[in-house]
Amino acid sequence: MKRRTISLVLLPFFIIPVSIAFSAELSGLDIMTNVDQREDGDDQISEAVFTLINKRGKKRIRKTIRYWKDYDGKNSFDEKTVIFFKSPPDVKNTGFLNWSYVDIKKDDDQWLYLPALRKVRRISSSGKEDSFMGTDFTFDDMGDRQVEEDTHNLLRSEIHEKIDSYVIESVPVDKDYMYSKKVTWLEKNNWIDYKTMFYDRKGKILKTLKTRWQMVQEVWVPEQMHMLNHQSGHQTTIDVSNVRFNNNIKDNLFSKKRIKRGIKK
Amino acid sequence: MNNIANKITEKVVNFPKITLLLTIIITIFFFSKVSDLKMETNIESMLPKKMDAYINKNKLEDIFGVKDMIVIGIVNEGPDGIFNLKSLSLVKEITDRLKLMEGINSRTNDDLVSLSTLDNILGTEEGMEVTPFMEEFLQTMEEVRKLKKSIYDNDMFVGSIVSKDGTATIILAEAEDGTPLGELYFKVKGAIDEILKARKTNDKVYIAGRPVIEGVFGLYMPQDMQSMLPLIIIILVVVLFLTFRSLRGIFLPLLVVIISTLWTMSTMAILGIPMYTITTMMPVILVAIGVADGIHILSKYYDEFLENPGEDRKTVVLNTMHEMNAPVIMTSITSAAGFLANLSSQMLPIRFFGIFTALGIIYAMIFSLTFIPAALVLMKLYAPRGVVKRMKAGDELNKATFSGRFLHFFGNYIFHRHRIIAATTVVVIFVSFYGISTIYVDASLLSEFRKDSPIRQADVVLNKKFSGTTSLNVVIETDKTDSMKSPDMLRKIDMLQSYLEEFPDVGDTLSISEFIKRMNRVMNEDRSEMEIIPDSRELVAQYLLLYSFSGDPEDFDDVVDYEYKQANIRANIHTDHSRPVALIIKKLQKFILGNFPSENTKIYLAGTAYTMHSFVDIIIRGQILSIIIAIIAIFLLTSFEFHSFFAGLLNIIPVSLSTLVIYAAMGLIGFPLEVGTALTSGIALGVGVDYSIHFINKYRLEAQKHQETLTITLNTMVTAGKAIFFNALVVTIGFLVLLKANLYPQVKLGIMVASVMMLCFCTSVTLLPILINSFKPEFIFPKGGSYEA
């Protein structure tokens, strides 16, 4: 199954094939297309801890469990996701349901269940440049961005942090985009991007993303993603654990009714 | 002291060329350093670091990221107000331009707020919708009408982003840390002017906000001083020429002033001490004071050789200096001490102002005692032709010039009509005490700009259209994480907001409670009766989580801290005058004491309004204290210098009276006491004491030569009195130039200094002879007759 919407920065829950054909004469676009075109599982269950730290060192820690299923165009759905909050206690069992569609022009449908209100409420979907769940990541940073939205240049090959890497510069086609460019470091032999620097519209460094990877069921999955906003001093760490692929998750988990019942026991 | 000075005089007179050479060499050295002098125009940097307003302001910035914003108002008085395609495109175009401007913080939508960056949170039947008001340029009037409806359906933005009547909207921008604000203002203004030129609209754009006011003020103050100083000097040249009618009469006092001011500023540069906004008036004050020594010396010099035509130039200079050394040293030291009283201030810039003005006075003294005699010795004896002619025709010195005749007449009048003058003085004192009782404190940075200046006009318009451009923050601090999620606490905050909004000067308020109420309404099918704080703490927490999804990580930061321990309630106030603000603060503090138990919660005030309030308080209190200290110091020093406490008393009477009258006049005219006037009124002491010392000293010298009190009075009048008169006249006219300055502090400085000069002159030459003649103090009329010096 080919994924369309994954870009150079990957959702922590997606999979990357271990080996991709390597050619000596790769262009920036070739490389990014290679990274983009990869296999993933049918579904995935994982736990993630979001640690938000402001510039004064104060933390907000949120533990979540996430269910994800790939629909690959079935009934025009692309994928469905449910996220439940495990902690802090005052938001426990708050549920978030997301349906995304194959048609890229169609906005995602999103619902939220607030246990204290005992109601599922539909919320309007966020833009690609908006913050992902109040973190330093945008939806684009989390993987919504497509390869053709940027022009990619292979800047150089280098040994960076002891890793034999490609360095790719990606400049958005849309000049009004929130970043003026991104620079990504990719590990040559397994196509893993482990560092990305984001530049704001004035050309100043805005954010740095660093990703540590783990191997689960023969695929690379991010273990920790760390995004630092240099301008605000705010940072977000996402630690991913207990990743399980291909669990045969039932379709009815991804429904308004189901998210009211909270975390699956 | 006097002996040492006389010895120095002899050396100087014997080696005039070496003296001049040395002066030139040292001056060249200082001149090479003066360009290192740094300007510090940031008003915040003047606050004492331990002052609670400063600490609170920093906390507010640190914890809540709250900074004063640049406010750009777009006003259209047409039938549709700003709800037309042109005005709305203008909003977007200016916002887009600012987003890319160096020095403007555009990190998040919180840093740059306008209709084109704001999201609207709407309640729908199914749930909640977050949509941008105007992400793209609008194309049709239908879209405009839709936008208008969505704004007025959500009262959070009415009065704060769009005016109630729909004729105005604002763009709020935050300056990046360390950006020079004055320059930024002109950059923003330039960009907007460019946009306005390109698209022909009937919109008016106004730029206001605290950073702009402070920035431009900080930029204008030194600029104004730089442009005013040469003007003052030109006027001094003219007036000095009219009084002395000779080149040396112009250039010697002026060179003393210019060189001593240069030395002072270089000394600051060498010590690495910057020039603050408040101390930019120092050079002007130094000019006013420094010119006195030269005038007195030259006046005596002319008197000396006109009365003794046979003397050679060396003798003339030596005799002049022998008489003038003592009063010049006395006046300089006493004036310097008067300015050193500013050391009692809590504010560093004011302390520096005191120290360096004192130093400048001492530099001027050194010059006057060395450079002037050295230069005079090298020059031929020369007197203005008219005076010489009249003297030859048989006139006395006192009748040879207009000023001489005037002062002679004046002295006679005072001598014979001392009862009328005494009675007048008593009446003036009584009226002054009444006047003092009517004085009030009211400072406003904005009022320091002229009424027709764009900044002041912008503020007036925006305050009329919107909820207010001056902020007052109430911060509630608890020691428990998540305490701001408690419904009880949120209701209390809500109550505090309602209380604040009752003040007519408070436009509106903003707090975390308002957001929670809004969320509650939106999540309950947008029913208006649900705009309340919910009872469940968990629900509050879940609303906050939900809200955090819709924005950036620090979206809520301006109303609640990261751990929900502290909340910030912001009130927008329509005025930046410290008087109404002081009233609000007083009542608010009482309300807080009565409504918030103090065990676990601490409440502090911050924001522009509070900073201004504390700033004014500290300066005015400090200035009153330093005036009292200065008077005591002058009393003790002059008592010591004349070896008589009565002399000390005589010396402080004219200055105290002048200060009293100045404050009383302010009270009676309705001129509030504020930062500028409080500072400049202190000058009365430093300058006024010069007059009385010169006068008393000359009086004593005359008393040693003559018996008749009338003769003594008249002789003193036409010599020292004349010099004082020249001094007052020269400086008064020079300072009236400041009436044309851009900023009111300068204008006020001009008025203050001019009136102080005239007042001190009047009180010295009237009260001193009357008091001396009535009491016949021993230090002037020693028992057993006169003695020879």
Residues B656 and B628 grouped into a single domain = yes
Interchain contact, A116 vs B542, CB within 8 Å: yes
Query: What integer pLDDT is reported at residue B191 of this predicted model?
Result: 94
B116 to chain A: which residues are within 8 Å by CB?
none
Domain total of chain B:
3
H/E stretch holding B363 reads helix B348-378
Lowest mean pLDDT among A113-127, B366-380, B512-526: A113-127
Token duo for residue B79:
């039938």
Query: What integer pLDDT is reported at residue B524 of this predicted model?
Result: 87
Q: Where do we find the tokens 């749930």?
A: B127
pLDDT for B525-537, tens place per residue?
888 899 999 999 9
Does B260 reside within a domain?
yes
Query: What integer pLDDT is reported at residue A10 of this predicted model?
Result: 40
Interchain contact, A91 vs B541, CB within 8 Å: yes
Distance from CA of B102 to the nearest CA of A (A): 8
Asked if A265 reaches chain B (Cβ–Cβ under 8 Å), the answer is no
Does A96 reside within a domain?
yes
B64, HSE (Cβ side, Cα atoms, 13 Å): 27
Torsion (CA) B458, B464, B470, B472 in degrees, nearest 10 = -170
Q: Where do we find the tokens 């199954």?
A: A1
Asked if A51 reaches chain B (Cβ–Cβ under 8 Å), the answer is no
Question: What is the secondary structure of B94-145 as a DSSP string?
Answer: HHHHHHT-TTEE-SSTTTEESTTTPEEEEE-SSEEEEEES-SS---SHHHHH
Nearest chain B alpha carbon to A207 = B107
Measured N-to-C along each axis, helices B385-392 and B282-307 cross at an angle, to the nearest 10 degrees, of: 30
Asked if A58 reaches chain B (Cβ–Cβ under 8 Å), the answer is yes
Query: What integer pLDDT is reported at residue B243 of this predicted model?
Result: 78
Query: What integer pLDDT is reported at residue A14 of this predicted model?
Result: 42
Task: Fill in the amino acid letter for A31.
Answer: I
Asked if A56 reaches chain B (Cβ–Cβ under 8 Å), the answer is yes
Interchain contact, A115 vs B543, CB within 8 Å: no
Q: Identify which of A52, A114, A200 has the shortest CB distance to residue B546.
A: A114
- CB pairs < 8 Å spanning A and B: 107
Interchain contact, B129 vs A121, CB within 8 Å: no
Interchain contact, A115 vs B538, CB within 8 Å: yes
Lowest mean pLDDT among A29-38, A116-125, B277-286, B331-340: A29-38
Does B49 reside within a domain?
no
Best residue in B60, B61, B538, B564 to probe A by mutation, most A CBs within 10 Å? B538
Residues B632 and B533 grouped into a single domain = no
Lowest mean pLDDT among A7-16, B322-331, B379-388, B481-490: A7-16
Does A13 reside within a domain?
no
Interchain contact, B543 vs A112, CB within 8 Å: no
Query: What integer pLDDT is reported at residue A24 of this predicted model?
Result: 53
Query: What integer pLDDT is reported at residue B787 of this predicted model?
Result: 45
Residue bearing the bigger pLDDT, A34 or B190: B190
Mean per-residue pLDDT over chain B, rounded: 86
B543 to chain A: which residues are within 8 Å by CB?
114
Does A218 reside within a domain?
yes
Best residue in A117, A119, A200, A226 to probe B by mutation, most B CBs within 10 Å? A117
Does B42 reside within a domain?
no
B541 to chain A: which residues are within 8 Å by CB?
88, 90-91, 116
In this predicted structure, the answer to whether residue A9 has a pLDDT above a threshold of 50 is: no
Short-list A262, A243, A166, CA closest to A12: A243
Q: How far apart are CA A110 and CA A107, in angstroms?
A: 9
Interchain contact, A115 vs B128, CB within 8 Å: no
Nearest chain B alpha carbon to A199 = B107
A36, HSE (Cβ side, Cα atoms, 13 Å): 19
B100 to chain A: which residues are within 8 Å by CB?
201-202
Q: Where do we find the tokens 């007083």?
A: B586
Does A172 reside within a domain?
yes
In this predicted structure, the answer to whether residue A235 has a pLDDT above a threshold of 70 is: yes
In this predicted structure, the answer to whether residue A264 has a pLDDT above a threshold of 70 is: no
> Once rounded to an integer, what is the mean pLDDT over residues B737-761?
82
Best residue in A50, A56, A58, A90 to probe B by mutation, most B CBs within 10 Å? A90
Lowest mean pLDDT among B165-169, B587-591, B677-681: B677-681
Degrees to nearest 5, angle at CA B587 with B586 and B588: 95
Q: How far apart are CA A92 and CA B50, in angstroms?
A: 44
Query: What integer pLDDT is reported at residue A21 of this predicted model?
Result: 42
Query: What integer pLDDT is reported at residue B194 of this predicted model?
Result: 92
Query: What integer pLDDT is reported at residue B528 of this predicted model?
Result: 84
Residues B314 and B433 grouped into a single domain = yes
> Once rounded to an integer, what is the mean pLDDT over residues B105-121?
80
In this predicted structure, the answer to whether residue B107 has a pLDDT above a threshold of 80 is: no
Interchain contact, B552 vs A90, CB within 8 Å: no
Can you name the residues that pair with B170 across neighbouring β-strands?
Answer: B73
Does A265 reside within a domain?
no
Cα B412 off chain centre by:
42
Interchain contact, B552 vs A134, CB within 8 Å: yes
A59 to chain B: which residues are within 8 Å by CB?
562
- Residue A15's pLDDT band (boundaries 50, 70, 90)? very low
Residues B653 and B701 grouped into a single domain = yes
Query: What integer pLDDT is reported at residue A17 of this predicted model?
Result: 40
Interchain contact, A91 vs B545, CB within 8 Å: yes
Question: ipTM of this model?
Answer: 0.85
In the three-class reduction of DSSP (H, G, I as helix; E, B as strand; rest coil), residue B174 is classed as: strand
Measured N-to-C along each axis, helices B16-33 and B2-14 cross at an angle, to the nearest 10 degrees, of: 100
E strands of B479-577, at which residues?
Answer: 506-510, 566-573
Residues B246 and B362 grouped into a single domain = yes
Residue A52's domain comprises: 28-259
Q: Identify which of B127, B538, B553 has the shortest CB distance to residue A90.
A: B538
- Residue B732's pLDDT band (boundaries 50, 70, 90)? confident
E strands of B423-540, at which residues?
Answer: 470-478, 506-510
Question: What is the secondary structure of A67-136 as a DSSP string?
Answer: EEEE-TTGGGEEEEEEEEEEESGGGTT-EEEEEEESSTTSPPEEEEEETTTTEEEEEPPPPTTSBSTTSS
> Once rounded to an integer, what is the mean pLDDT over residues B424-431?
93
Interchain contact, A133 vs B552, CB within 8 Å: no
B126 to chain A: which residues are within 8 Å by CB?
121-122
Mean per-residue pLDDT over chain A, rounded: 83
Asked if A119 reaches chain B (Cβ–Cβ under 8 Å), the answer is yes
Segment of B543-552, B562-571, B737-746 carrying the highest mean pLDDT: B562-571
A58 to chain B: which residues are within 8 Å by CB?
561-563
Asked if A232 reaches chain B (Cβ–Cβ under 8 Å), the answer is yes
> Once rounded to an integer, what is the mean pLDDT over residues A240-258?
90
Question: What is the secondary structure of B218-260 as a DSSP string?
Answer: HHHHHHHHHHHHHHHHHHHHHHHHHHH-SHHHHHHHHHHHHHH
Residues B147 and B292 grouped into a single domain = no
What share of chain B has pLDDT > 90, as a percent? 33
In this predicted structure, the answer to whether residue B788 has a pLDDT above a threshold of 70 is: no
Interchain contact, B553 vs A116, CB within 8 Å: no
Asked if A91 reaches chain B (Cβ–Cβ under 8 Å), the answer is yes
Distance from CA of A163 to the nearest CA of B (A): 32
Residue B429's domain comprises: 2-37+216-384+393-437+614-775
Lowest mean pLDDT among A10-14, B244-248, B344-348, B353-357: A10-14
Does B787 reside within a domain?
no
Q: Which of B191, B208, B225 is at the close of a domain? A: B208
Q: Which of B564, B581, B606 is at the close of a domain? A: B606
For chain A, the C-alpha Rg in angstroms (whole number) is 18
pLDDT for A145-201, tens place per residue?
778 889 999 998 899 888 889 999 999 998 888 899 999 998 887 788 899 999 998
Distance from CA of A195 to the nearest CA of B (A): 21
Short-list B144, B25, B130, CA closest to B84: B144
Does B734 reside within a domain?
yes
Note whether A180 and A203 are within 8 A (CB): yes
Nearest chain B alpha carbon to A122 = B127
- Residue B168's pLDDT band (boundaries 50, 70, 90)? very high
Interchain contact, A122 vs B561, CB within 8 Å: no
Q: How far apart are CA B500 and CA B510, in angstroms?
A: 11
Residues B113 and B234 grouped into a single domain = no
Residues B362 and B239 grouped into a single domain = yes
Degrees to nearest 5, angle at CA A61 with A55 and A63: 150
Q: Where do we find the tokens 């900074």?
A: B67
Q: Which of B576, B606, B636 is at the close of a domain? A: B606
Cα B85 off chain centre by:
44
CATH number of domain containing B701: 1.20.1640.10
Residues B195 and B259 grouped into a single domain = no
- Residue A38's pLDDT band (boundaries 50, 70, 90)? low
Query: What integer pLDDT is reported at residue B495 of this predicted model?
Result: 94
Does A73 reside within a domain?
yes
Does A14 reside within a domain?
no
Query: What integer pLDDT is reported at residue B390 of this predicted model?
Result: 65
- Chain B positions contacting chain A at CB under 8 Å are 62-63, 99-100, 102, 106-108, 124, 126-131, 482, 485, 523, 534, 536-539, 541-543, 545-546, 548-555, 557, 561-563
Distance from CA of B201 to the nearest CA of A (A): 25
**Eight-state DSSP code of residue B605:** E
In this predicted structure, the answer to whether residue B228 has a pLDDT above a threshold of 90 is: no
Does A231 reside within a domain?
yes
pLDDT for B48-67, tens place per residue?
888 888 888 888 888 888 88
Does B181 reside within a domain?
yes
Q: How far apart are CA B755 and CA B661, in angstroms?
A: 10
In the three-class reduction of DSSP (H, G, I as helix; E, B as strand; rest coil), residue B559 is classed as: coil
Lowest mean pLDDT among A46-50, B81-85, B123-127, B579-583: B123-127
Domain total of chain A:
1
Nearest chain B alpha carbon to A200 = B107
**Eight-state DSSP code of residue A141:** I
Lowest mean pLDDT among A45-54, A138-147, B187-196, B382-391: B382-391
Residues B488 and B573 grouped into a single domain = yes
B97 to chain A: which residues are within 8 Å by CB?
none
Short-list B533, B510, B511, CA closest to B521: B533
Does B369 reside within a domain?
yes
Asked if A233 reaches chain B (Cβ–Cβ under 8 Å), the answer is no
Does B63 reside within a domain?
no
> Once rounded to an integer, what is the mean pLDDT over residues B674-691?
77
Task: Fill in the amino acid letter for B700.
Answer: R
Residues B162 and B235 grouped into a single domain = no
Short-list B615, B611, B583, B612, CA closest to B59: B611
Lowest mean pLDDT among A211-220, B159-168, B475-484: A211-220
In this predicted structure, the answer to whether residue A250 has a pLDDT above a threshold of 50 is: yes
- Provide the 10 A C-beta neighbour count for residue A31: 22
Token duo for residue A11:
């959702």
Lowest mean pLDDT among B289-293, B497-501, B636-640: B289-293
Q: pTM, whole model, 2 decimals?
A: 0.80
In this predicted structure, the answer to whether residue A130 has a pLDDT above a threshold of 90 is: no
Measured N-to-C along each axis, helices B608-642 and B578-595 cross at an angle, to the nearest 10 degrees, of: 110
Query: What integer pLDDT is reported at residue B417 of this predicted model?
Result: 87
B612, HSE (Cβ side, Cα atoms, 13 Å): 27
Residues B263 and B339 grouped into a single domain = yes
Token duo for residue B285:
């004050």
CATH number of domain containing A193: 2.50.20.10
